[in-house]
């Protein structure tokens, strides 16, 4: 079950509808310039939480968004593509961090689809199928940039359960990024892709990941502490990156 570890959602024992209601309220507050409230992490400082071994967090075949030649700083995110909090992190933090720190950090993503999100695994399959054609990064961005189209129900609030619609949209994204569509469709359901997702999830369990997103910076779990806004979240995250780069 998700835990109360990351900002944006109270994850322990909350239903999908409650989580989405919180996200909708969060977005509305952002639009009018208000302040978001975050849950406090388990640490009393912003130096990070527990440490996990590098060989658990990253495997040779793990997907990478950006690579630093020296691999001095490695960020690993366990994510769920249909998770509202993951999408919020993407919009508010990780998408821009990926761009701003390109070539400075190695940014690794791992699959951790939660059973409470019915389209999380098909989306992970789409990402991994794209990876087999060298287009993981493009599909990763397509899934999050088009989140509302496939991940949300027509009311824009509840999570979608329409897998047929989602898969049709994934096919569109595959074509837009230049994939061989028949191969993509075949790979999505292949033993290789499913084994990769299962292996990522198993590593997440070894790392005691219980919620998404869970992020590690050089093996230490990122804990934002008492932050009240997305700007503060960005500041804390970037400060930790900069401190690691300066070591």
pLDDT at 48: 54
Distance CA 112, CA 115 (A): 10
CA dihedral 179→185→186→187, nearest 10 degrees, is: 60
**3-state DSSP assignment of residue 187:** helix
User: What is the predicted pLDDT for the residue at 218?
Assistant: 98
Phi, psi of 110 (to 5 degrees): -125, 145
Query: What's the confidence (pLDDT) of residue 14?
Result: 37
CA dist 206 to 75, 78, 210, Å? 17, 12, 10
Percent of the chain's residues with pLDDT above 70: 81
pLDDT value for 49: 73
- Sketch out the chain's domains with CATH numbers: 52-223+230-246 (3.40.30.10)
What are 148-154's contacts with CB under 8 Å, separation 24+? 150/119, 150/123, 151/81, 151/82, 151/87, 151/119, 151/123, 152/20
**pLDDT tens sequence across 71-125:** 999 999 999 999 999 999 999 999 999 999 999 999 999 999 999 999 999 999 9
Q: What is the pLDDT of residue 24?
A: 39
**pTM to 2 decimal places:** 0.83
Which ranges of the chain have pLDDT less than 70?
1-48
pLDDT at 55: 97
């Amino acid at each position: 079950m998700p835990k109360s570890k990351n900002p944006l959602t109270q994850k322990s024992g909350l239903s999908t509808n409650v989580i989405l209601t919180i996200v909708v309220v969060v977005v509305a507050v952002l639009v009018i310039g208000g302040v978001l409230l975050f849950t406090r992490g388990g640490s009393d400082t912003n130096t990070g939480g527990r440490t996990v071994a590098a060989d658990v967090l990253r495997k040779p075949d793990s997907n990478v968004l950006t690579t630093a030649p020296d691999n001095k700083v490695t960020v690993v995110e366990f994510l769920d593509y249909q998770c509202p909090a993951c999408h919020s992190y993407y919009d508010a933090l990780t998408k821009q961090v990926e761009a701003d720190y390109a070539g400075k950090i190695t940014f690794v993503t791992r699959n951790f689809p939660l059973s409470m999100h019915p389209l999380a695994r098909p989306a992970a399959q789409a990402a991994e199928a794209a990876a087999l054609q060298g287009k993981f990064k493009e599909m990763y961005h397509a899934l999050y940039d088009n989140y509302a189209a496939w991940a949300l129900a027509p009311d824009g609030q509840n999570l979608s359960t329409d897998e047929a619609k989602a898969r049709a949209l994934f096919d569109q994204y595959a074509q837009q990024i230049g994939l061989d569509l028949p191969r993509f469709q075949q790979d999505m359901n292949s033993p290789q892709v499913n084994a990769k997702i299962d292996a990522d999830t198993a590593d997440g369990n070894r790392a005691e990941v219980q919620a998404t997103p869970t992020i590690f910076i050089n093996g230490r779990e990122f804990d934002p502490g008492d932050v009240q806004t997305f700007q503060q979240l960005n500041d804390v995250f970037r400060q930790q990156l900069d401190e690691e780069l300066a070591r």
